[in-house]
Amino acid sequence: MSILIKNGKLLLKDNDSRTDGYRWTVGNLRIEGPRIVALGPNLEPQPHDIIIDATGKMVAPGLVDTHVHLREPGREDEETIATGTKAAAAGGYTTIACMPNTTPPLDSGAAVSAVLQRAESACIRVIPVGCITKGRHGKELAEIGELVEAGVWGITDDGNPVVDGEIMRRALEYSRPFNIPVISHAEEPRLTGKGVMHEGLMSTILGLPGIPPEAESVMVARDVLLAKATKSRVHFAHVSTKESIEIIATAKSRGIRVTCEVTPHHLVLTDAAVRSYDTNTKVNPPLRSQDHLEALRVAIAKGIIDCVATDHAPHTWEEKDCDYLQAEFGLIGLETALSLLFTHLVRPGILDLATLWERMSFGPAQLLGLADHGLAVGNRADIVIVDLELEKEVDPTKGWSRSRNTPFAGERLFGWPVATIAGGKIAFREAE
């Protein structure tokens, strides 16, 4: 397959800088097979080229998500590799990392290989994450070498924390020679207790049991200290508190090998959203108060937070159509992440577009070790074309995900992907 993208506003990045060095240029881009073969102002179409007119649109490297729950194997009623990757492509993603809290969990080389095999026919690239402990029980380490050999990016018991500090220390020691991160779902379950939302004024008003911010930040502190002691890599999943940010900023300034991600919903919503009792606002970690949201926004602008990750967590209607106390934690995010952050952060001038791309594309690509990411000749053709002027209402009934649990239904957002090309193949086009 060969594709010519014409007249787009291309986002280019010079490789020697993390924050500067972005360039916008109007031009054309040609793809042959899985790679970008030409870039320039005057490219002529070749016979058999599929021509995509990108006049007035942004053409940028595809988005990359370090944290997605694809639910396969085991909960195909919530999501499958096929439906989750299609939702991701519709959201502009070309590579996603899938979490191992499946049924059974991805705690062996065979389980990881099975997912990779299923993902071969998916429309975008899937990179699995393996478990830290066997069965995610937190008791005995999984065979980390075997998981790495099978192709995992990192290891995590996400959904659950590793409560036993000694197990976490061993996981860090074993993962070090492989140079993979241990991904920390930082949560002290005894501090979470039976909490269902952020603990504060709003939980008191609503009469719902709260989760204090310390349930997260004490574990962030523990894992920073363990990363320091073992000289290993820790990546913090879905950070949500200002104290976590302070600890991570200090750790980074001292050369401790930590990175972290934030979700779009923690950047856009506060615990005030729970007032609706909409169970789609129930998520772990919970939506925090305004002061935490503001700290996250500062941290993403400064680069203390390395990337945006959706924590796309599909749940069925039955799992959400119930009392707030009983509902499952989690919300879907792949199809709305970009337009949500473009509308709420870029359009009001809180974050510039190139920095958003750093956190949603270049940054996570670097974390996942994708060396050939970006609009340059020879690189893998992972590209998204975005109409920044396009305004649409979020309608989960029209989404690609098998689940519909979004708190953003009915919101009007700007900045939607109109085409996504992954590995040189068209993974999504708006007309679909």
List the Cα angle 192/197/198 in 5-degree steps.
80
Determine the Cα–Cα distance for residues 57 and 9; give it in Å rounded to an integer: 6
Among 92, 109, 154, 159, binds ligand DOR (CB under 6 A): 159
Do 388 and 414 touch, CB atoms closer than 8 A? yes
For residue 283, state whether it binds ligand DOR (rule: CB under 6 A): yes
Residues 170-209, one symbol each (x = binds ligand DOR by CB under 6 A, - = not), give ---------------x------------------------
Per-residue CA distances from 209 to 18, 155, 198, 328 (Å):
41, 31, 8, 15
Q: Is 311 a catalytic residue?
A: yes
Does 313 contact ligand DOR by CB under 6 A? yes
Residues 144 and 146: their CA atoms lie apart, in Å, by 5
Q: Considering the complex, what minimum distance in angstroms separates the CB of residue 158 from ligand DOR? A: 5
Place of tokens 């615990």: 271
Between 296 and 418, CB nearer to ligand DOR: 296
Judged by CB under 6 A, the residue of 158, 223, 335, 358 near ligand DOR is: 158
Whose Cβ is closer to ligand DOR: residue 22's or residue 329's?
329
Instruction: State the nearest-atom distance from the C-beta of 29 to ligand DOR, in Å.
Output: 37
Residue with tokens 């106390």: 325
Distance CA 199, CA 208 (A): 9
d(C-alpha 354, C-alpha 14), whole Å: 12
State which of residues 181, 330, 333, 424 lies at the interface with ligand DOR (CB under 6 A).
330
String of b and e for 118-130 (b: at least 16 CB within 10 Å)?
bbeebbbbbbbbb
Size of the site for ligand DOR (CB under 6 A): 10
Least spacing, CB of residue 419 vs ligand DOR, in Å? 30
Closer Cβ to ligand DOR, 171 or 283, answer by number: 283
Q: Considering the complex, state which of residue 162 and residue 421 has its C-beta at the smaller distance from ligand DOR.
A: 162
Distances (CA, A) of 84 to 151, 171, 213: 20, 29, 30
Shortest reach from residue 283's CB to ligand DOR, in Å: 4
84-103 positions binding ligand DOR, by CB under 6 A: 101
SS3 78: coil
Contact 128, 115 (CB under 8 A): yes
Instruction: Give 69 or 125: the residue with its C-beta nearer to ligand DOR.
Output: 69
User: Which of these is catalytic: 49, 311, 382, 387?
Assistant: 311
Query: What residues line the site for ligand DOR (CB under 6 A)?
Result: 69, 101, 158-159, 185, 283-284, 313, 329-330
Catalytic site positions: 311
